[in-house]
Structure 1
Amino acid sequence: MSSLLDAHLVASRGAFTLDISLRIAPGETVALLGPNGAGKTTALRTLAGLTSLSGGHLRLGGRDLAPLPPEQRPIGVVFQDYLLFPHLTARDNVAFGPRRHGMDRKSAHAVADEWLERVGLSSFGSRKPRQLSGGQAQRVALARALAVDPVLLLLDEPLAALDARTRLETRGELRRHLSDHPGATLLVTHDPLDALVLADRLVIVEQGRVVQEGDAATITARPRTDYVARLVGLNLYRGVGDGHTVTVADGFTLTSTDTVSGDVFLAFPPSAVALHPDQPSGSPRNTWPATLADIQHHGDNLRVRLEGPVSVSADITPAAAAQLDLSPGRPLWVAVKATETRAYPAQ
């Protein structure tokens, strides 16, 4: 698959330096995820021309975009707060881009009307942004970005400003529009659900560097940093493998059914962790004493964090929590079956 976007983005902001490579194929949506301060927004701003590159390259369809100012780049942007022009109607907001590209007023309005119809807002063209709901404003912002037929579409946390119900509905609509977009799309988000639903591929950045990339199945099966492990809800440890044994912190060992050697990761889900008031006997190959540190609601269950030779998160039912008489500082035993773990090379 050929790359429509071929970029090596190097940009400095004070002591922080972004240095990442991005390639996006025609029709592909890539999600850029990472913790706050990882460089996601800096990457988007360099692509849009709002922040200058200090090195690397930026090519779109073989064309060098680095020297071009923002208004000359074939790029559409949907910002987190949408940034609709408050004094313009929805119709004029969408027509703004085509007008800037030299289209006459009548033709630009015809394009705007077409896009408002495509996003389900054909009867809202005369409304100002303050008269629109959050979901409606998001759709107008998307229509405005797509009305210029962008080769590259940039989405900066496009659903973050919406409430949970509107977000669910709008996410489905956005996915439909992205599937129809023939160009490349970069979605910047901190929400793993947005990334998993909307993107074909994930790129994880931390401290200005790419730490992992791939499709959702690859990322969720084999996380490579603590951030990614938390993102996909796994306990993750790095250690030294020797056969079925992985030595992690301070000589503590965990057992897996996988055969590994050298620098490795070992991961397992919180649902694989069983808690006992006393040291268990029987089948679990991994058991250790721990102290309960925190309890939080997690869906219909409880997410319990425990400290011990290694920190670990466990998911248990409210009934199990009541039986264990859980409270902070409570001593417990942790058990994880070797068959529930995955061990894999760290390199």
Structure 2
Amino acid sequence: MSVRAHLVVERPAFRLDVRIAAAAGEVVALLGPNGAGKTTALRGLAGLTPLSGGRVELDGAEVQRLPPERRRIGVVFQDYLLFPHLSALDNVAFGPRCQGLGKAAARRVAAELLDRVGLAGHAHVRPGRLSGGQAQRVALARALAVRPRLLLLDEPLAALDAHTRLEIRAELRRHLAGFDGATILVTHDALDAMVLADRLVVIENGAVVQTGTPSEIARHPRTDYVARLVGLNLYRGEADGHHVVVGDVRFSSVERLTGPAFVAFPPSAVALYRSRPDGSPRNLWRAVIDGIERHGDNVRVHLHGPIPLLADVTPSAAADLDLIPGQDVWAAVKATETHAYPA
């Protein structure tokens, strides 16, 4: 592993205790809600937040007692923190100069990096005249200029508008693919994590609650937060063969399990009816509509009953059913649409 860390940070109302590892050439995303401890973990790795316990190893050497400038770590902050009085070139050259490189040599390194990120023509422009996307690329070049073994990115796309974010996300993916050190990315945006990262580490309340590849996390969420993030209804219950009992609801599933289990299905798998449907759908129960909202091309219906539930229906179906808050409906999910796995 390029980096292996156990990070413990104690505060009066919060405790972070997480283990993080990333190999050279790997991008690991720390994903979680606001206040989960993601940025605290990143700052602990960088040496910007003191650790209460644990250790940080980089290429096999302990670095937790070293000051930030001696850790061979590059950081791209959420607001980029470019020096406003320096040109893009001198912003990028700042790190190599601090490492003892001469002015001319540092500027050559900076010019090469600006060219790599497509900003050779903006070398003498100050940050105040750069667009958000350009500033992000200068910040990335500045982080890479110190030849780090670990690159830390704190919400690197959060300050960008939606159109620029799409473009810069694709560019950032290409740059990270060419970086031979380990990268740790902090984000609360599922799409950023899924597109940029090889592996996800989900943090909630200062602890790791799930880790895996993006596809593993999407298929097998283990907390309500992760389920909402990937757009699934998720419940925890007790499995007995092809059934999972969640409170008063007995789910049928194609998987055969015994013991604690999760059952998950997308909102699009939920069918709504004004009256009890004919036939015998295996997963069927009464529910009450809490609220209705537009969700992409569909209408998302929030329901409560024996279990809370999200259902996505087409606008025409919502109109035909005349759905309104407070209305009683029947909700059904086919057994083939549910996915059960061990808890």
Which of the numbers 84, 87, 92 marks the counterpart of 2:85? 87
1:205 is paired with a residue whose SS is strand
| Partner amino acid, structure 1, of 2:260 | D
Aligned to 1:243: 241
More moved, 118-127 vs 289-298: 289-298
> In 2, Cα distance between the equivalents of 1:311 and 1:101?
56
Q: For 1:86 and 1:294, how far apart are their aligned partners in 2?
A: 47
| Equivalent residue pairs, number | 343
Which residue in the other structure is 2:18 paired with?
20
Q: Which residue of 2 aligns with 1:161?
A: 159
Q: Kindly state the Cα deviation for residue 247 of structure 1 after the two structures are TM-superposed.
A: 1.4
Q: 1:257 aligns with which of 254, 257, 270?
A: 254
Question: What's the counterpart of residue 275 of structure 2?
Answer: 278
Query: Following TM superposition, by how much is the alpha carbon of 1:15 offset from its aligned partner in structure 2, in angstroms?
Result: 2.2
- TM-score in terms of structure 1 length: 0.97
Tell me by how many angstroms 1:295 deviates: 1.5
Q: Distance in 1 between matches of 2:163 and 2:92?
A: 25
Residue 285 (structure 2) pairs with residue 288 (structure 1): yes
C-alpha separation in 2, matches of 1:97 and 1:43:
23
Match of 1:32 among 27, 30, 33: 30
In the other structure, the counterpart of 1:213 is: 211
Deviation readout 1:129-166 (Å, 9 max, x if unpaired)? 11000000000000000111110000000000000000
The one of 160, 164, 187 aligned to 2:185 = 187
CA deviation map 1:81-116 (0-9, x unaligned): 000011111111000000010000000111111111
Q: Distance in 1 between matches of 2:32 and 2:237?
A: 24
- Is 1:340 aligned to residue 340 of structure 2? no
Q: Which amino acid aligns with 2:333?
A: V
Q: Is 1:323 the counterpart of 2:320 in the alignment?
A: yes
1:38-87 Cα shifts (integer Å, max 9, x gaps) = 11011001001011111111100011111001111100000010000111
Q: Deviations over 1:3-23 (max 9, x none)?
A: 110111111122211111111
- What amino acid is the match of 2:67? P
- What is the DSSP-based 3-state SS (H/G/I as helix, E as strand, rest coil) of the residue aligned with 2:92? helix
Look up the match of 2:2: 4
Q: In the aligned structure 1, how far is the partner of 2:10 from the partner of 2:288?
A: 43
Counterparts of 2:268 and 2:217, CA distance in 1: 19
Runs of 4+ in 1 over 6 A off after TM superposition: none
Unaligned runs of 5+ in 2: none
Per the TM alignment, residue 326 of structure 1 is displaced from its structure 2 partner at its CA by: 1.4
Question: RMSD of the alignment, in Å?
Answer: 0.9
SS at match of 2:340: strand
| 1:60 aligns with one of 58, 61, 64 | 58
Contact persistence 1:94–1:144 (CA under 8 A): yes
Contact 1:241 1:262 in 2 (8 A): yes
Q: Identity rate of aligned residues, in percent? A: 64
CA-to-partner distance for each residue in 1:287-340, whole Å, 9 max, x for gaps?
111111112221111111111110110111111111111111111110000111
Preserved contact between residue 283 and residue 337 of structure 1 (Cα < 8 Å): no
- CA-CA distance at 1:36 after TM superposition: 1.1
Equivalent of 2:195, from 180, 194, 197? 197
Superposition pairs for residues 87-236 of structure 1, below 5 Å? 87-236=85-234
Q: Do structure 1's residue 309 and structure 2's residue 306 form an aligned pair? A: yes
* Partners of 1:14 and 1:85 in 2: CA distance: 34
Return the offset for 1:281: 2.1
Q: CA deviation at 1:283?
A: 5.1
**What corresponds to 2:47 in structure 1?**
49
- Structure 2: distance between partners of 1:283 and 1:48: 58
More displaced 10-residue stretch of structure 1: 9-18 or 223-232: 9-18
Distance 1:214 1:14 in 2: 31
Secondary structure in 1 matching 2:169: helix
Q: Look up the equivalent residue of 1:320 and give its one-letter code.
A: A
Query: Match for 1:25: what amino acid?
Result: A
Structure 1 CA distance for aligned equivalents of residues 194 and 28 of structure 2: 10
Tell me whether 279-288 or 35-44 shows the greater mean CA deviation.
279-288
Asked if 2 retains the 8 angstrom alpha-carbon contact of 1:289 and 1:334, the reply is: yes
- Where 2:159 maps in the other structure, the secondary structure is coil
Amino acid at match of 2:249: F
> Which 5+ residue runs of structure 1 have no aligned equivalent?
none
Letter of the structure 2 residue corresponding to residue 220 of structure 1? A
Q: Do the aligned partners of 1:94 and 1:112 also contact (CA within 8 Å) in 2? A: yes
**In structure 2, the residue corresponding to 1:58 is in which secondary structure?**
strand
